[in-house]
Amino acid sequence: MSDDGFATPGGTERVTGPALSDVTERELRSVFDEMSYVADDDLITTVLLGLRLGKPLLIEGEPGAGKTELAKVLAHGFDTELIRLQCYEGLAAENALYEWNYTKQLLAVQAGDRGVDGDGSVFDEDYLLERPLLRALRSDDDTPQVLLIDEVDRADEEFEALLLELLSDFQLSIPELGTVTASVPPIVVITSNRTRGLSDALKRRCLYVHVEPPSFEKEREILRRKVPELDEATASAVCAVTQELRDHPLLKQPGVAETLDWARALVDLGADGDDQITADRIRSTAGFLLKEIEDIDRIDELADDLTAAARDARDSTAVDTDQKR
């Protein structure tokens, strides 16, 4: 019986990492603060539950919403290793789980050092190449590692089936060796851009989070932390422009990542508190915010709205600043 009072159907104890199963909300908030990761209460609650219950987190949302960043923040914040598996079409088991070192095996057999079956065969750990999923299970650390399975929707549906055993029991069956069970289960973060639906079997093994684009206030806070060299008024204007863009039916809405890129670009271009974000500047840097040519072609028609939004936000911030003084 595990400490959390649950028994899994097969009688296998659900084990959570010794260091994170009792993490408190305060500690998690502290980690996010230290890593300058702005998370809302819903996300914090769900991540907290994922850590305490040892459940994988399935995070969906638009590209650039901070899904991958969450895994990085957890790894850095809890001072543990991040193991990343980037998914792509055609991703196979040998790229994700493990692979036999066939060259080494062949040489060993030819040299007569090892046989192909029985004791002393070439099918043992000396000839095993760990791939990300197996490596995450065989960690010797006391603190669980963070396993990031990034953009799982890019992989084939068959690949999801490979994940099921790992996600439910944190174990992996290798026919020639047996079952590898994690002594310290990793923190699993799975991200998806929703380019296709995921299987029910995968989803029900995870706690689900859908990350929405941030509000104006939240995005400004992100900018304040991530691009501190940008002054308050310009940061407000930047956020106002991206918020305005999100109100328009674009092929690809700018995410937080695009906002950060654009803000850094403006800093490089010397934007400071006295500079307005003009239509020309928006046009010349639109590539940081918009990633589809059809969207960039619309920048002229949107320019007035965008500059007005930037001006209003800047004025509003200036008034706030004056009042604070």
Partner 1 sequence: MSDQADDGPTVPTDERVRFRIVEFTRALRAADVDVPATGSLEAARVLAEIGVVDRTRTRAALRGALITSPSDIRTFDRLFATFWRALIADIEDDHGADSVRPDERPEVLDLPEADPTPSADASEPDAEIDDAGSMLAFGSDSDSEEDPLLDDERETVAGYSRHGESSTVSPRGALESEVDLVDPVSRLSDALARLTDRGYTSNADPTRIDVRRALRESHQTGGVVVSTPTEGPKRTASRLLFIVDVSKSVLDVIERDFLVRTLSCFQEESRSMRTFFFDTSAQEVTDAIDTRTTADAYDTLERLEATWGGGTQIGTALTEIRERHPTAVDRRTAVVVVSDGLETGDTSELEAGMNWLSRRGRIVLWWNPLATTSTYEPTCRGMETALPFVDGLFGFADEADLREIASQLERYDGTQPLGYERTASP
What's the CA gap between 119 and 114, in Å, rounded? 9
The pattern of x and - marking residues 42 through 61 that bind partner 1 according to CB under 8 A reads: xx-xx-xxx-xx----x-x-
Residue the block writes with tokens 């079952």 = 179
- Which positions from 105 through 134 interact with partner 1, judged by CB under 8 A? none
Kindly report the length of the chain: 325
Listing from the earlier edge strand, what are the strands of the sheet with 187-192? 82-86, 146-150, 187-192, 57-61, 207-211
306 part of the interface to partner 1, by CB under 8 A: no
- Which positions from 162 through 181 interact with partner 1, judged by CB under 8 A? none
Stretch binding partner 1 (CB under 8 A), from 137-145, 182-190, 293-301, 314-322? 314-322
101 part of the interface to partner 1, by CB under 8 A: no
Residues contacting partner 1: total by CB under 8 A = 54
Q: Are 303 and 226 in contact (CB under 8 A)?
A: no
Among 223, 240, 245, 250, binds partner 1 (CB under 8 A): 240
Q: Are 59 and 67 in contact (CB under 8 A)?
A: yes
Query: What tokens does 187 get?
Result: 């923190």
Residue closer to partner 1, measured from CB, 113 or 194: 194
Residue closer to partner 1, measured from CB, 174 or 207: 207
What's the CA gap between 35 and 80, in Å, rounded? 14
Residue closer to partner 1, measured from CB, 6 or 88: 6
25 part of the interface to partner 1, by CB under 8 A: yes
Decide: residue 292, CB within 10 A, 0-12 exposed, 13-18 middle, 19+ buried: exposed
| Three-state DSSP class for residue 2 | coil
Closest CA to 159 of 202, 114, 99: 202
Question: Shortest approach of partner 1 to residue 215 CB, angstroms?
Answer: 5
- Which positions from 189 through 218 interact with partner 1, judged by CB under 8 A? 194, 197-198, 200, 203-204, 207-210, 212-218
Residue closer to partner 1, measured from CB, 27 or 81: 27
Closest CA to 73 of 44, 53, 96, 45: 44
Residues lying near partner 1 in the complex (CB under 8 A) = 1, 3-9, 22, 24-27, 40-43, 45-46, 48-50, 52-53, 58, 60, 194, 197-198, 200, 203-204, 207-210, 212-218, 240, 243, 246-247, 309, 312-313, 316, 319-320, 323
